[in-house]
Amino acid sequence: MVDIEEDYLFSQLDSLGVTTMLMLLSEEFNISLDASDATPKNLRNLDSITNLVQSKLS
Domains in the chain: boundaries: 9-57
Between 15-29 and 46-57, two packed helices, what is the crossing angle to 10 degrees?
Answer: 40
Long-range pairs, 36-42, Cβ under 8 A, ≥24: 39/10, 40/8, 40/10, 40/11
pLDDT, tens only, 10-53: 677 788 888 888 999 999 999 999 989 998 889 888 899 999 99
Q: How far apart are CA 29 and CA 8, in angstroms?
A: 23
Question: Among 54, 55, 42, which residue's Cα sits nearest to residue 9?
Answer: 42
pLDDT at 43: 85
pLDDT at 30: 97
Q: How far apart are CA 31 and CA 10, in angstroms?
A: 20
Is the pLDDT score of 6 beyond 70?
A: no
pLDDT at 10: 65
pLDDT at 5: 59
pLDDT at 56: 96
